[in-house]
Amino acid sequence: MEIQNEIDEQFEILRKNYPGRELQITRLQDLIGDIHQVVPPSIFIFGDSATGKTSIVRSIFSKYKENASFINCIDCYTPRLLFEHCLNKLSGYIPNPDNLYSNYAHCETISEFIHFLTEICDKNKNEDEELTGRYLIFDNAERLRETNPLLLSALLRVPEITNLNITIILISNIVWEKFRSQTGMLEPILLQFPSYSKSEILNIMIRDCPKDENKNFYYIFIELLYDVFNKPCRNLNELRHMAMLLYPKYIEPIQEGKATRNDTVKLFKHIEIYFKQALDKLYLRNISSSEWKNKSFEEYVEPTVNSDIRFELPYYTKFLLIASYLASYNPPRYDLRFFSKSSENKRRKSRKQEDVSGSKKSQQLYGPKVFPMERMLAIFYSIIDDPIEGTIDINRQIASLKTLKLLIKVGNTDVLNQMKCKCNVNYEFIQYLSKSVHFDISRYLYEAV
Amino acid sequence: MLQDTLPNINKKDINNVKRIILNNLTGKSYTNKLIGLEEQYNTLYDICKKTIETGESNSTLLIGNRGCGKTMIVNKLLDNLDKEYNKDKQTFLTVRLNGLIQSDDRLALKEMIYQLSQEEAMENLNSTSFSEVLSYLLNVLSIGTKTSKPVIIVLDEFDLFTQHNKQTLLYNLFDIAQSNQNPIVVIGLTCQLNVVELLEKRVKSRYSHRQVLCFPPIEIEDFEKIIINSLKIPENNSKINKDYIKKFNTEVDKIFSDESIKTIINRLFDITNNSRNFLKICIEPIYKLSVNQPYPKVNDFLDAYTRQYIDSKTELLKGTSILELCLIIAMKCLLEKHIEVFNFEMIYDEYKKFVQKIEATGNGREIFFKKQVAMKALEHLIAIELVLPTEASGKCPKEYRMMKVLLEPNQITQAVLKHNECPTSIKQWGTRWL
């Protein structure tokens, strides 16, 4: 009965530690809280990322000792790893140097797995014939679909086939409909972890408040943060990450003595600049957290343009890439108009009229088109200013662009001259590149981006 | 008011009640009466009886929908036969295989030998070649005469066994059943009606063509009876307080005479007559029983129903951010233009157009985000599989990777309406019909 007491305690603690999840925790307790009861055959826990699924389930089962095995399906990516880890945990077997890091048993198929499972459960049976539940938990369960399509159906049948008191718990951020594919799937009990509401998010974030800080003051800050960032991102983990990095900036004026805690407006004005930057830099992880901390105030106010693209290529290789971009995004029939040197006086730029019907999308949006090598080379020779020196090996440059995956080969031939390619860079990148060689790419593009 | 005084209920009673009902609900006990399946049961029983008593071999298939009680019949059958003939485990042997678990013939053979050797002093072969195991097993099964010990072989998910290479296992089993060797009964369970056509010619000719068809409940009364039956406690249970059992059973009857429960049963019955679907709803209310609340409540059932049968995609969408919602609405706009497959650039273009349109009202800036931010939002949508890329990655820049949305326009509209923090302008955009 000792384990049972610990479990009950754990549920109480969890209810306190996870505001907004009380309902889910109670439902879990109803279903699996009593270790000496008949367990449900299978439970499917789902919900968006950062809604507390894994962390709640993990902390519940940390108290179940050897009766539960918590497996992350990303770690255990083959059936064998999955089975062997399960068996190790249920039997309390720990691979260590003394046993040469071996496993409880060598187990590759579900058939063997069932044998070993029965073996373990029989061994640990109480003398007084008391029921004990066993819990197999699979986190990131969507990965189970990848290996063997029948694996999931078979796993869900394990309680039925073995007739043991076992429950299968699947955790995933994908809805159950996507799991139903093969024959023989038993329907699990669904348990949803809905996304947090605004007040719940704020309630959780207030728990991160520094010890020496006034709760109300911190609350104003996180509410401000939430209102700014909730449009693009409601992921709690992201919000907490940003709160952690932005808070020191928020209280900077107070530490420097320029403002007091009551100057909400002043503080807001100060932090606004950081907020603007945070979305680009922090949210997209363009700079590391330590970089962010060490940057001076001036750097935030005047950020260098396109500073996040850092890439260097030889001069002519850049032009090769630009040429291939043009070849990929311009229709061939307009080549003459754009690149012909003899008809310099002709109208160079011609932009197609916007499609009024609206039902057809502009071709630009469909992405890069395939082009033959000769066409790209023709464009290349047309856009470079001076005639090229003979020593440069163009083909080698093309090959290296291909290795860098900036060009993608289409088709089978390996002969460079006959090859067909696609350009694999986006507009921002090519713009940055053409700027570095003082080339105005927009003049040559059929459709402006 | 003697009736209303609570019978003396203690925790043990509750636990026992829970255990009995949960075993029923999860199919772990087979003491319950079969409803509408008596005939099938009797046919199978006769076949097995003949084998056990007179050594007559046979093969049969039990075909029926999912959840109509095939496994239950077999479980009950084996249970009863065990009680009748096999008290000392000496009269006959049983082997149970499942197509999901024993995914090829080699595993199936090993499992057969394992199960046989549990009861018989048989040599347990450790990982020998397939042919060796097969010949060993055939030897064991074929040296016997009519007087040898009969073997009952149950093949669950029979259709999966037909996919095994050359159907060697089935061929040999049916062959033994047909020729006068060791008496065996082969019972195949499947939900595939055309399963006989899946058999190879040589296998088919050895199969006795005996089929037992199971039907799910056709009348709603039967459906209801199955459900109520599994929620009741047998009156003769001596462990539990008698008054409590009585009261409990009448409460269960009361619940199922409730109008709202009746509508749920009707609705579910129209969708599927697999009783498992309703039993799934019953699990949670039963788990909720406690000393303070010893009887199930109608509301618990209704709650469980709404939880188990919500549209989970719409639920998932409710929690998305405004930007993600905008992208999904943009996809809906593309769908309305009959563009079924699209890439990020097209979605973003559609989104940009919308923002430009509402710019005049002044709140366009607020919901407009850079491409990279939108890309991150889209990647999240791909991760939760609301959007599915149709092209392998790395073939072109990721902005141009083609994808399709896995939601109905209707679901999108619903999600927009149910979203908590959605501004009115977006609501209008999302619910507009062309």
Q: Which helix (H) or strand (E) holds A111?
A: helix A110-123
C-alpha angle B215-B216-B221 in degrees, rounded to nearest 5: 125
Considering the domain boundaries, does residue A309 fall inside one? no
Q: What CATH topology corresponds to B314-430?
A: Arc Repressor Mutant, subunit A (1.10.10)
Query: Which CATH superfamily groups domain B37-213?
Result: P-loop containing nucleotide triphosphate hydrolases (3.40.50.300)
Distance, CA of A140 to CA of A256 (rounded, Å)? 47
Q: Which residues is A191 bridged to in the sheet? A: A45
Task: Write down the pLDDT at residue B146.
Answer: 61
The alpha carbon of residue A302 is apart from the nearest alpha carbon of chain B, in Å, by 18
Residue B211 has pLDDT above 80, yes or no: yes
Q: Which residue of A has its CA nearest to B285?
A: A30
Distance, CA of A378 to CA of B347 (rounded, Å)? 34
Burial class (CB in 10 A: 0-12, 13-18, 19+), A412: exposed
Mean pLDDT of B322-344: 91
Task: Write down the pLDDT at residue B5.
Answer: 53
Tens-place pLDDT, residues A344-359: 544 444 444 444 444 4
Between residues B351 and B31, which one has the greater pLDDT? B351
- Give yes or no: residues A267 and A177 share one domain: no
- Give yes or no: residues A175 and A246 share one domain: no
Mean pLDDT of B338-358: 90
What is the band of B381 on the pLDDT scale with cuts at 50, 70, 90? very high
- Asked if the Cβ–Cβ distance from A234 to B321 is below 8 Å, we say yes
- Asked if the Cβ–Cβ distance from A367 to B376 is below 8 Å, we say no
- Give yes or no: residues A266 and A344 share one domain: no
- Asked if the Cβ–Cβ distance from B157 to A184 is below 8 Å, we say yes
Q: Which helix (H) or strand (E) holds B94?
A: strand B93-98
Distance, CA of A294 to CA of B93 (rounded, Å)? 76
Closest CA to A11 of A27, A170, B12: A27
- Asked if the Cβ–Cβ distance from A177 to B313 is below 8 Å, we say yes
Residue % of chain B over a pLDDT of 70: 92
Range of the domain at A262: 198-303
Residue that finishes a domain, picked among A141, A171, A192: A192
The alpha carbon of residue A22 is apart from the nearest alpha carbon of chain B, in Å, by 16
- Find how far residue A241's CA is from the centre of its chain: 15
- Give yes or no: residues A345 and A417 share one domain: yes
CB-nearest to B284 from A30, A177, A366 is A30
- Give yes or no: residues A169 and A278 share one domain: no
Tens-place pLDDT, residues A177-204: 888 876 778 889 999 999 898 899 999 9
Distance, CA of A184 to CA of B390 (rounded, Å)? 28
Most A CBs within 10 A among B287, B325, B331, B391, hence the mutation to make, goes to: B287
Q: Which residue of A has its CA nearest to B100?
A: A154
Please spell the DSSP secondary structure of B130-142, one letter per residue. HHHHHHHHHHHHH
Q: What is the ipTM of this complex?
A: 0.90
Task: Check CB contact of B283 with chain A, cutoff 8 Å.
Answer: yes
Residue B153 has pLDDT above 70, yes or no: yes
Interface of B with A in 112-131 (CB under 8 A): 114
The alpha carbon of residue B230 is apart from the nearest alpha carbon of chain A, in Å, by 15
Task: Check CB contact of A387 with chain B, cutoff 8 Å.
Answer: no
- Give yes or no: residues A21 and A170 share one domain: yes
Residue % of chain A over a pLDDT of 70: 89
Tens-place pLDDT, residues A10-61: 999 999 999 889 999 999 999 998 888 889 999 999 998 889 999 999 999 9
Distance, CA of A69 to CA of A137 (rounded, Å)? 6
Q: Which helix (H) or strand (E) holds A76?
A: none
Residues 6+ apart with CB under 8 A from B98: A154, A157, A161, B155, B156, B157
Tens-place pLDDT, residues A84-98: 999 999 998 998 998
Considering the domain boundaries, does residue A165 fall inside one? yes
Q: Phi and psi (nearest 5°) for B322?
A: -60, -40
Q: Which helix (H) or strand (E) holds A191?
A: strand A189-192
- Asked if the Cβ–Cβ distance from B385 to A424 is below 8 Å, we say no
Residues 6+ apart with CB under 8 A from B137: B109, B112, B113
Considering the domain boundaries, does residue A210 fall inside one? yes
Residue A398 has pLDDT above 60, yes or no: yes
CB contacts of B403 in chain A (<8 Å) are: none
Task: Check CB contact of B272 with chain A, cutoff 8 Å.
Answer: no
Which amino acid is present at A99? N
- Asked if the Cβ–Cβ distance from A49 to B383 is below 8 Å, we say yes
Task: Check CB contact of B382 with chain A, cutoff 8 Å.
Answer: no
Please name the residue ranges forming H helices in B211-343: 220-231, 242-256, 259-271, 276-287, 298-308, 312-318, 322-336
- Give yes or no: residues A258 and A319 share one domain: no
Q: Which residue of A has its CA nearest to B106?
A: A111
Task: Write down the pLDDT at residue A352.
Answer: 46
Closest CA to B406 of B375, B432, B381: B381
What the block records as the tokens of A48 is 């968006």
Task: Check CB contact of A199 with chain B, cutoff 8 Å.
Answer: no
DSSP class of residue A32 equals H
Residues 6+ apart with CB under 8 A from A270: A249, A250, A252, A253, A259
Q: Please count the CA atoms within 13 angstroms of the CA of A48 that sit on its side-chain side.
A: 24
CB-nearest to B397 from A187, A189, A426 is A426
CB-nearest to A30 from B28, B288, B370 is B288
Distance, CA of A210 to CA of B283 (rounded, Å)? 44
Task: Check CB contact of A332 with chain B, cutoff 8 Å.
Answer: no
Instruction: Count chain A–chain B contacts defined by CB atoms under 8 A.
Output: 184
Distance, CA of A390 to CA of A392 (rounded, Å)? 6
**Total-model pTM:** 0.88
Please, are residues A185 and A168 in contact by the beta-carbon 8 Å criterion?
Answer: no
Q: Which residues is A189 bridged to in the sheet? A: A43
- Give yes or no: residues A187 and A203 share one domain: no
Most A CBs within 10 A among B133, B396, B399, hence the mutation to make, goes to: B396
Mean pLDDT of A324-333: 88
